């Protein structure tokens, strides 16, 4: 059927309570989005599935929930205060601020890679190819300058006594600074992992393709601490694990690919992304990074606290290496929605929009639909019973066809219809979202039937 466009997805998300523009009644606020009643459930399910795979089922992995506001020295140690910046320039005519690398990527379509270019080289490329401002069409740019992406705020009760602090631009540092505490409290032996899911903030300038690039977003990160000589093997293992997770939550492998980084940080020995084929093309979904002992060494240097780990078997002391796996929950949400969205033409020409979400990710696992309102005495108890086990929704408004369509659009895997036969045989009709096939089941069978289908 028709190609998925971002506009189509944004309209569906708004209309069905998945995602709304942030502060909409005040005219919105660029690059911020609010999750609605359906969206928050889907996103929570994504985070739960990730946690299950990377903490609960992962050997020797432990979760943390670190503070968003951290001692500013953390960001000196991590290198963010000095170099967490994007090359930006302003349009002299309409004053829009743009990322030079994004502008070049959009123009070059893979023929050059701005990640490997200096500011001077980017400036020369923009002048040579007369790259125009996407907002007003002018070709008059200020020189490229580096802008730090961290949001600053101030701590303290009086102006004189303020200390500059930052909203964390990544969750990873919360895992690094807790390395010793987690290791000691759990008595974990290397190799072990620390994971976290939480908010991060970046003062991104380039508008971001819906929730692809936002200024406030959630990350799901896992740091694997290991011996340097084992890091290559773990890097490959986490590439595989990251890909398998995506396949298991419903992605088609044709829509995913690995992309090695063209430019490595001086301390890293390998880095790659998994890209997803979004409506705007192949873009980064998550990253995997073999970072060596850089992070813990820097925190040792800046905090003065030893980050040495003592091997309990041979007494060897060393600073562990890190294999980082990082994925944005919102960017994954966008990929999940794009992957699930489908339109199909039914007999008679009607177009059915359906979110073919993996059942484990769907907001509601089933909808309970009395064929007529006067069947509510039979339908309500079924709904009350099922909602003790999983999220279900009750809908008795409108024709049964319209109610099916509403559930299809939010990806509810099963619709349970209570009809007049239910009064006699205590059975209901269960319609499966993707095939639209219907089976007749006893009310007592519903819980295990749905429970089996939504397992992850
Ligand atoms: N600790 C490593 C780190 O933060 P990153 O590549 O900057 O690495 C990791 O970010 C992931 O976070 C990305 O792959 C992406 O999924 C997500 N992400 C990064 N910036 C984002 C933004 N502005 N909006 C939404 N998601 C973002």
From 170, 173, 238, 274, the mutation candidate for ligand 1 (largest count of ligand atoms within 8 A of CB) is: 170
Please choose from 150, 201, 205, 328 the residue to mutate so as to test ligand 1's pocket, defined by most ligand atoms within 8 A of CB: 328
213 C-alpha to ligand 1 centroid (Å): 8
What does the pLDDT look like over 307-350, one tens digit per residue? 999 999 999 999 999 999 999 999 999 999 999 999 999 988 99
Report, in angstroms and rounded to the nearest whole number, the Rg of the chain calculated over CA atoms. Answer: 25
Query: β-strands 414-418, 366-370: how paired?
Result: parallel
User: Could you tell me if the CB of 204 is within 6 A of ligand 1?
Assistant: yes
- Per-residue pLDDT, averaged over 420-447, amounts to 97
Per-residue pLDDT, 157: 76
Q: Is the model's pLDDT at 106 over the cut of 90?
A: no
**What dihedral angle (degrees, nearest 10) is formed by the CA atoms of 342, 346, 351, 354?**
-30
Cα–Cα dist 38/16, whole Å: 7
Most ligand 1 atoms within 8 A of CB, residue of 66, 287, 323 to mutate: 287
159 pLDDT higher than 70:
no
In short, whether 284's Cβ falls inside 6 Å of ligand 1 is yes
Is any atom of ligand 1 closer than 6 Å to the C-beta of 202? yes
In the predicted model, what is the mean pLDDT of residues 126-140? 93
Nearest atom of ligand 1 to the alpha carbon of 332: 16
The rounded percent of the chain whose pLDDT value lies above 70 is: 98
Answer whether residue 160 shows pLDDT above 70. Answer: no
The least confident of 105-109, 175-179, 442-446 is 105-109
Bridge-partner residues for 286, per DSSP?
274, 327
Average pLDDT over residues 130-135: 92
Label residue 130 exposed, middle or buried (CB < 10 Å: 0-12, 13-18, 19+): exposed
Is the per-residue pLDDT at 3 higher than 90?
no
pLDDT, one tens digit per residue, over 398-414 is 999 999 999 999 999 99
**CA proximity to 430, closest of 439, 421, 443:** 439
> What's the 173 CA to ligand 1 centre distance in angstroms?
14
State if residue 286 touches ligand 1 by the CB under 6 angstroms criterion: yes
Give me the pLDDT at residue 161, please: 63
What is the reported pLDDT for 1? 62
Model pLDDT, residue 63: 98
Q: What are phi and psi of 156, to 5 degrees?
A: 125, 160
Contact 222 CB / ligand 1 (< 6 Å): no
pLDDT grade, residue 100 (50/70/90)? very high
**Residue 158: its pLDDT value, please?**
72
pTM of the shown model? 0.94
């Amino acid at each position: 059927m028709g190609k998925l466009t971002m506009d189509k997805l944004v309209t569906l998300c708004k209309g069905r309570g998945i995602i709304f523009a942030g502060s909409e009644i005040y005219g919105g606020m660029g690059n911020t989005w609010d999750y609605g009643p359906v969206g928050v459930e889907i996103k929570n399910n994504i985070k739960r599935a990730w946690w299950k795979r990377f903490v609960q089922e992962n050997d020797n992995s432990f979760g943390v929930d670190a503070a968003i506001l951290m001692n500013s020295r953390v960001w000196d140690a991590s290198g963010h205060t000095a170099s967490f910046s994007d090359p930006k320039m302003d349009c002299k005519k309409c004053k829009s601020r743009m990322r030079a690398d994004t502008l070049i990527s959009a123009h070059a379509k893979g023929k050059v890679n701005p990640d490997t270019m200096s500011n001077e080289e980017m400036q020369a490329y923009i002048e040579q190819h007369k790259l125009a401002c996407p907002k007003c069409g002018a070709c008059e740019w200020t020189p490229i300058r580096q802008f730090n992406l961290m949001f600053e705020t101030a701590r303290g009760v009086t102006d004189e006594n303020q200390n500059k602090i930052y909203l964390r631009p990544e969750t990873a540092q919360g895992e690094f600074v807790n390395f010793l505490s987690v290791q000691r409290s759990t008595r974990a032996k290397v190799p072990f992992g620390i994971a976290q899911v939480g908010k991060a903030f970046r003062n991104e300038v380039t508008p971001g393709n819906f929730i692809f690039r936002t200024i406030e977003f959630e990350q799901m990160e896992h740091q694997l601490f290991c011996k340097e000589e084992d890091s290559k093997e773990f890097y490959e293992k986490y590439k595989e694990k990251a890909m398998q997770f995506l396949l298991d939550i419903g992605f088609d492998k044709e829509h995913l690919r690995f992309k090695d980084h063209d430019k490595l940080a001086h301390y890293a020995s390998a880095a790659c992304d998994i890209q997803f084929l979004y409506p705007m093309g192949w873009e980064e979904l998550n990253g995997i990074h073999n970072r060596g002992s850089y992070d813990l060494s820097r925190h040792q240097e800046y905090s003065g606290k030893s980050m040495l780990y003592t091997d309990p078997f041979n007494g060897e002391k060393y600073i562990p290496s890190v294999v980082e796996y990082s994925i944005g929950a919102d960017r994954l949400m966008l990929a999940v929605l794009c992957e699930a969205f489908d339109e199909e033409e039914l007999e008679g020409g009607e177009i059915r929009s359906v979110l073919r979400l993996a059942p484990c990710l769907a907001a509601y696992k089933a909808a309970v639909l009395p064929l007529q309102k006067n069947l509510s005495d039979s339908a309500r108890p079924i709904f009350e019973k099922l909602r003790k086990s999983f999220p279900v929704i009750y809908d008795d408004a409108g024709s049964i066809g319209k109610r099916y369509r509403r559930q299809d659009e939010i990806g509810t895997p099963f619709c349970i219809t209570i009809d007049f036969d239910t009064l006699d045989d205590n059975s209901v009709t269960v319609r499966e979202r993707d095939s639209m096939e219907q089976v007749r089941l006893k009310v007592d069978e519903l819980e295990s039937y749905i429970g089996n289908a939504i397992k992850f």
